[in-house]
Amino acid sequence: MRAGLTPDADGAFRERRERPVDAPATTTWTCVADLGGDPGWYAASRLWWVRGVLDRAVGGPGNRGRPDRELGVGDPVDGWRVEAVDPGRRLTLVSEQRMPGTARMTYEVDTPEAAGAGRSRLVQRLEFHPVGRAGQAFWWAELPAHKIVFRAMLARMAGEAERRARADGTMGP
């Protein structure tokens, strides 16, 4: 996938990944809804923590944690804030960390018609609106780690949904 390597017409870098999940959409959603909570960030949680410490050092919000309840619009999730939530379907976080631009991360869960009973699809959408040359340089500097971390997050979130489905008996072994 070459998405994210060149900016769109509005100057934003966008990426979209999706993954089929052998778990019902309701189970897959529980993993999305837990983001930043007990399971952490599903991948590179230690790096997310370091990013938060560095962010706090330069005046950003750092690692604020998240509420121990269902997320709602305006809730903090470490250095992010819930921008939109459609429970069971979509969660969008906007970064409040110090960076030369605006970053958004969206996870969507759906059940494609062809998927069959007990299956779902997990979609990850990322966008970064850089500010000036510093924003573009920031994007290119973090792109290699960004690709690895976000691919791993999607894969591990899907894997956790499948594990939960097996544990609660909604999917086979």
Q: Average pLDDT of 45-59?
A: 91
Asked if residue 4 is part of any domain, the answer here is: no
Asked if residue 114 is part of any domain, the answer here is: yes
CATH code, domain with 118: 3.30.530.20
118-153 in b/e form (b: 16+ CB < 10 A) is bbbbbebbbbbbbeeeebbebbeeeeeebeebbbeb
Structural domain total, the chain: 1
Asked if residue 6 is part of any domain, the answer here is: no
User: pLDDT tens across 67-94, in order?
Assistant: 999 999 999 999 999 999 999 999 999 9
Q: How confident is the model at residue 116 (pLDDT cuts 50, 70, 90)?
A: low
Asked if residue 39 is part of any domain, the answer here is: yes
Query: Which residue range forms the structural domain that includes residue 95?
Result: 13-167
pTM here is 0.91
Asked if residue 126 is part of any domain, the answer here is: yes
Residue 104 sits at φ, ψ, to 5 deg, of -130, 145
